[in-house]
Amino acid sequence: MEVRCVGNKQLDVLIYDTTLRDGAQGEGISFSLDDKIKIAQKLAWLGVSYIEGGWPGSNPKDLEFFKLARRLDLNHTRVAAFGSTRKPNTPVSRDGNVQALLESGARTITLVGKTWDFHVLRALETTLEENLSMIRETISYFKDQGREVIFDAEHFFDGCKHNRDYTLQIVETAAQAGADWLILCDTNGGSMSWEIGDIIRQVKKQVKTPLGIHAHNDCGCAVSNSLVAVKEGCTQVQGTVNGYGERCGNSDICSLIPNLELKMGLSCLPAGNLKNLSEAAHYVGEIANMPHYSNQPFVGHGAFAHKGGIHVSALLKDPLTYEHIDPEKVGNHRRVLVSELSGLSNLLYKARELNIDVNSYDAETRRLIKEIKELENQGFQFEGADASLELFLRKAFAQYDEFFQLKNLKIILEKNEEDDITAEAMIKVQIGDHTFHTAAEGDGPVNALDNSLRKALNEVYPEVAEMHLSDYKVRVLDGKNGTAAKVRVLIDSANQSDKWSTVGVSENIIEASWQALVDSINYLLLKKRL
């Protein structure tokens, strides 16, 4: 075991990230070469000890990744190449996958080997003795080449449950061959935490080589199984960002890391890096093009979101009443939601966030709560549209002046015989004493509306060119009314430094879109002037 320090600090547990290999096996995930480079750099910035770059023997992209990775400055993070032991009855020197691992140039080689006799006999179709030779010879080969060798004992826990003697013989063989790490894998993700603990205690009696854990989440136990493994003495934990992986995914390092550091008091990242966790989680999620689970522990957008009035009332007195950690420790932040479930405390908390003094507006504040609940009843959803809520509150407490007024709006849709549809929006707005009349085309009525409004505002408010609509969602609120149903439009907007969401509700989708669109621009203009 060579890598145990970051700078001058010794780590208690090493994080081995396999997002680029095991995570990429998750449904709907496909990383380009550029994606893999960007993620590797972000993981190194986070401070994980190992990044598993891929399987160089499986495809040219992974082999190219290792060539590029050699030029990257990844601080103290090591890049590991993944592959299997030699094939049955094939010399190591003539095994193509083994040679591809060597060709990768990686200083750390992670070898996966069968440890469940069922897999040896049925999947590999070889003998138990030949499997032992495959493991012994492949590990020895890479140790002779001066490589750090991590042995992934595939299906280890299932193997122990069916033929413990043979499975333990395998890890003893790997240790004797010189493996630097023995990683015990719950490959099918079906083991319970008490089984994990019992088996690891047995292994520790048999071998002295440092142990690690690689858990899958098929029973929803991957993180807890990994933590139990650490408690029993494992000093390497393998997992993926956001728990990506085949079937139900892998152990989520975004839960593992804060639990190790904050709950178990074990260091696994360089000092001060834990605050980077949320950013890293969302960054990888964006590249993977996977929707981020709002309720994901520690790093989810809603991980520290509070909605119930009783909860918020207690939070105002002490955050520890309903938060198990300070969200800033993992780079997240507290959110208080205002909705039909809100009480006075929710509104007071939100006003405090916005530096709005509501102490002298008690009657008005209670009226606003009633109004918010009525709006939510109509279909507005302020918990998902913080920008619209802030505008609503500032207007109510006279902390907002209109930036522009709509005088007239007309939208023309035209469909020709070639099935082409064009949309044109004509807008007249007033800004101060000046009136601006513009027209613009778009791919659809909402896009035309957006283009025309920006064009009208651009002369006075050039900053509108800095923002863009990043998402547009429409939900039918009551389908039984058919095409006359009320709809809710949520618009996500962004510029280089910020993101915000706005909402509109109407029986007319254009009107609902207009409400959300106007709020998105007004919010930008407001923030520029605060």
pLDDT band at residue 499, thresholds of 50, 70 and 90? confident
Q: Quickly count: other Cβ atoms within 10 Å of residue 278's Cβ.
A: 23
Q: Looking at the structure, do residues 206 and 328 belong to the same domain, yes or no? A: no
Q: How far apart are CA 180 and CA 203, in angstroms?
A: 15
Q: How far apart are CA 55 and CA 117, in angstroms?
A: 24
Task: Single out the residue in 377, 392, 413 at which a domain terminates.
Answer: 377
Q: Quote the pLDDT of residue 8.
A: 47
Looking at the domain assignment, is residue 333 inside a domain? yes
**264 is written with which tokens?**
């178990």
Question: How confident is the prediction for the chain on average, in pLDDT?
Answer: 89
Task: Single out the residue in 260, 288, 316 at which a domain terminates.
Answer: 288
* Tens-place pLDDT, residues 16-37: 999 999 999 999 999 999 999 9
Q: Are 510 and 453 in contact (CB under 8 A)?
A: no
Q: Quote the pLDDT of residue 361.
A: 55
Q: How far apart are CA 448 and CA 380, in angstroms?
A: 24
Q: Looking at the structure, do residues 311 and 270 belong to the same domain, yes or no? A: no
| Full residue range of the structural domain in which residue 310 is found | 305-377
Q: Looking at the structure, do residues 116 and 237 belong to the same domain, yes or no? A: yes
Looking at the domain assignment, is residue 385 inside a domain? no
Residue of 375 and 119 predicted with greater confidence: 119
Q: Looking at the structure, do residues 87 and 217 belong to the same domain, yes or no? A: yes
Instruction: Tell me: pLDDT of 339 over 90.
Output: no
Count the domains in the chain.
Answer: 3
Looking at the domain assignment, is residue 393 inside a domain? no
- The residue type at 48: V
Q: Are 470 and 493 in contact (CB under 8 A)?
A: yes
| Cα-Cα-Cα-Cα dihedral sign, residues 250, 255, 257, 262 | negative
Q: How far apart are CA 213 and CA 230, in angstroms?
A: 8
Q: Looking at the structure, do residues 19 and 51 belong to the same domain, yes or no? A: yes
Q: Quote the pLDDT of residue 474.
A: 87
pLDDT band at residue 482, thresholds of 50, 70 and 90? low
Helix (H) or strand (E) holding 6: strand 5-6
* Tens-place pLDDT, residues 53-89: 999 977 888 889 999 998 988 988 999 999 999 999 9
Q: Quote the pLDDT of residue 3.
A: 43
Task: Single out the residue in 377, 395, 425 at which a domain terminates.
Answer: 377
Q: How far apart are CA 84 and CA 110, in angstroms?
A: 8
Q: Are 92 and 138 in contact (CB under 8 A)?
A: yes
Instruction: Tell me: pLDDT of 436 over 60.
Output: yes
Q: Are 285 and 242 in contact (CB under 8 A)?
A: yes
Q: Looking at the structure, do residues 210 and 319 belong to the same domain, yes or no? A: no
Looking at the domain assignment, is residue 387 inside a domain? no
Instruction: Tell me: pLDDT of 1 over 50.
Output: no
Q: 3-class SS at 412? A: strand
pLDDT band at residue 308, thresholds of 50, 70 and 90? confident
Q: Give the burial class of 324: count Cβ atoms within 10 A of its Cβ; 0-12 exposed, 13-18 middle, 19 or more buried.
A: exposed
Q: How far apart are CA 455 and CA 467, in angstroms?
A: 13
**Regarding beta strands 468-476 and 78-84, do their DSSP bridges make them parallel or antiparallel, or are they unpaired?**
unpaired
Q: Are 210 and 180 in contact (CB under 8 A)?
A: yes
Q: How far apart are CA 291 and CA 289, in angstroms?
A: 7
Highest mean pLDDT (candidates 4-8, 164-168, 299-303, 478-482): 164-168
Q: Looking at the structure, do residues 125 and 53 belong to the same domain, yes or no? A: yes
Looking at the domain assignment, is residue 247 inside a domain? yes
Would you put residue 246 in left (φ > 0), alpha (ψ -120 to 50) or beta?
beta
State the CATH number of the domain containing residue 11: 3.20.20.70
**Regarding beta strands 499-506 and 487-494, do their DSSP bridges make them parallel or antiparallel, or are they unpaired?**
antiparallel
Q: Quickly count: other Cβ atoms within 10 Å of residue 485's Cβ.
A: 14
Q: Are 113 and 169 in contact (CB under 8 A)?
A: no
Q: How many angstroms separate the Cα of 293 from the Cα of each of 16, 286, 302, 477? A: 23, 12, 9, 23
**Regarding beta strands 148-154 and 181-186, do their DSSP bridges make them parallel or antiparallel, or are they unpaired?**
parallel
pLDDT band at residue 483, thresholds of 50, 70 and 90? low
- Quick one: what percent of the chain has pLDDT higher than 90? 61
Q: Looking at the structure, do residues 132 and 278 belong to the same domain, yes or no? A: yes
**29 is written with which tokens?**
């995930």
Q: Which residue has the tokens 């060798």?
A: 149
**Regarding beta strands 5-6 and 9-10, do their DSSP bridges make them parallel or antiparallel, or are they unpaired?**
antiparallel
Q: Looking at the structure, do residues 123 and 259 belong to the same domain, yes or no? A: yes
Side-by-side strand order, sheet with 405-415:
405-415, 421-431, 434-442
Which DSSP symbol is given to 216?
B
Looking at the domain assignment, is residue 299 inside a domain? no
- Looking at 169-173, 254-258, 417-421, which range is the least confident one? 417-421
Q: How far apart are CA 498 and CA 191, in angstroms?
A: 43
State the CATH number of the domain containing residue 475: 3.30.160.270
Q: Angle 236-237-241 (CA atoms, 0-180°, nearest 5)?
A: 140
Q: Looking at the structure, do residues 351 and 468 belong to the same domain, yes or no? A: no
Looking at the domain assignment, is residue 382 inside a domain? no
Q: Looking at the structure, do residues 469 and 524 belong to the same domain, yes or no? A: yes
Q: How far apart are CA 516 and CA 253, in angstroms?
A: 37
Q: Looking at the structure, do residues 179 and 266 belong to the same domain, yes or no? A: yes
pLDDT band at residue 9, thresholds of 50, 70 and 90? low
Looking at the domain assignment, is residue 360 inside a domain? yes
**479 is written with which tokens?**
């389908």
